[in-house]
Amino acid sequence: MTTLDLSRERRVDWPRVIANLQRTGMSPSTIADWVGVGRKTITDYARDDLPAEPAHWVGHCLIVLWCERCGTTLADLPTRLVQPSVSQVLREHA
């Protein structure tokens, strides 16, 4: 695997990862079974309006599954910019 440039402002786009997996024919239940979490957990990660972040081990499993099922590499992992919170901005400018 190659390195991935993630930061506080750039994170994995979990809704796109889940959508890509579903396009390969996997249901949320199948994804959840493969990763070892509940189906609702996967549907929460898939919601664009509720930016849920998985625990490290769950995220790692999802990324491995995504690479295998989608025939991609870590360099292709979808990411998105995340706006900093007000408290983050205030801390950085204090």
Confidence of residue 2 (pLDDT cuts 50, 70, 90): low
What is the domain-level CATH number for residue 40? Answer: 1.10.260
Residue 63 inside a domain? The answer is yes
pLDDT at position 4 over 70? no
Q: pLDDT digit string (tens) for 9-59? A: 788 999 999 999 999 999 999 999 999 999 999 999 999 887 678 999 999
Residue 17 inside a domain? The answer is yes
Residue 4 inside a domain? The answer is no
Top pLDDT among 1 and 63 is at 63
pLDDT at 1: 43
**CA–CA gap between residue 30 and residue 53 (Å, rounded):** 19
pLDDT at position 84 over 80? no
pTM of the predicted structure, to 2 decimals: 0.81
CA dihedral 80, 81, 82, 83 (to 10 degrees): -160
**Number of separate domains in the chain:** 1
Range of the domain at 31: 10-92
Residue 64 inside a domain? The answer is yes
Residue 56 inside a domain? The answer is yes
